[in-house]
Structure 1
């Protein structure tokens, strides 16, 4: 079973320790993520979110989870409600081969010489970049190429305002109430 967790280890966010990939679903379910909260399965998270109108963003952190993720997305009829993002650009290309209607986003750690060309090469509809590397030039170039811009992780109010002024399409934040 696939679970929804940001980190590759459970140490920081639960009362457990170890790598997610080394634990069984049953072991993960026994962990406390704070105040009795459990780490949800992908199906549980989708059930909560699919009632809304928002798009569901799924980040692929391990390439071998692709088939399981696509199976769940197809079974739930969510191909047009998800955007799958990843640092693994070859995985994004594979998604487009299997399910071309699913929107994808290429994540970059730093500002590459030509992130827009790399995003286009990955057939990505979204460029996901740390906010400190986003300027007007990046936003304009992306939009000229029908590529959206996702700024991450933007937590400070002044940075959020700057991203809005630049015209980014998505602001990812640990403080959505500030956005």
Structure 2
């Protein structure tokens, strides 16, 4: 059965990368969540996609220039009028504490392609080990040097290269860096490539699958997982197909 990962939580219906979005993913029955991490000025692992807080909050500035205390003051739900109460940017620790109450998988994307955060990999892996989530986490990044570093730090944690340009036989590349899976942009992941990769023992979790026809196509070939902004829609489609 294809798994459903809630992209930045249920980002299509709730403020992305917030506890509200992750809890919605759990409520609708998603198998996992996908989130992004960066480091605050005081070295805390915070869950946010952009290098700045400008797009997703009522604040301005780079994450690397703000302390956790300053980040906590921001409202990450200000663009959603139905969310009347303040929605905070969570830390990875907060997400893990919540994950103690369920069995969801967590795909952590390291956002260190633009800003090279010192020790981001070490801090994330320390948290994973503290919570004993080695079997419930996947570390992905467009920065492949970073995920190889993660593998060397702890070979028990699954790594997955993210990519958006066509790769020839990407499962061979994945195996060469000890990655058990690949996370391609769906535009560069035709069905044949997904099937060949899975046959080679490398899982495929394409992003970001919001189109109903594409969901059905991927469920039909039993793609390892899909990453979607609309997990509720994806789960209803999967159930209707009895896959």
Q: Which of the residues 56, 69, 77 maps onto 1:13?
A: 56
Give the Cα separation in 2 of the matches to 1:127 and 1:135. 13
Q: Deviations over 1:13-64 (max 9, x none)?
A: 1101122222111111110011301000110011112321121111111253
Where does residue 40 of structure 1 map in the other structure? 90
Where does residue 203 of structure 2 map in the other structure? 148
Q: Does 1:109 align with 2:182?
A: no
5+ residue gaps, structure 1: none
What is the CA distance between 1:109 and its match in structure 2?
Answer: 1.5
Give the Cα separation in 2 of the matches to 1:151 and 1:165. 14
Per the normalisation by structure 1, the TM-score is: 0.93
Where does residue 134 of structure 1 map in the other structure? 189
Provide the alpha-carbon RMSD of the alignment.
1.4
For residues 1-179 of structure 1, the aligned pairs below 5 Å read: 1-34=44-77, 35=83, 36-62=86-112, 64=118, 65-179=120-234
Count of paired positions: 179
* 8 Å CA contact 2:161, 2:179 repeated in 1: yes
* 8 Å CA contact 1:151, 1:163 repeated in 2: no
SS at the partner of 2:46? coil
Per the normalisation by structure 2, the TM-score is: 0.70
Higher helix share: 1
5+ residue gaps, structure 2: 1-43, 78-82, 235-243
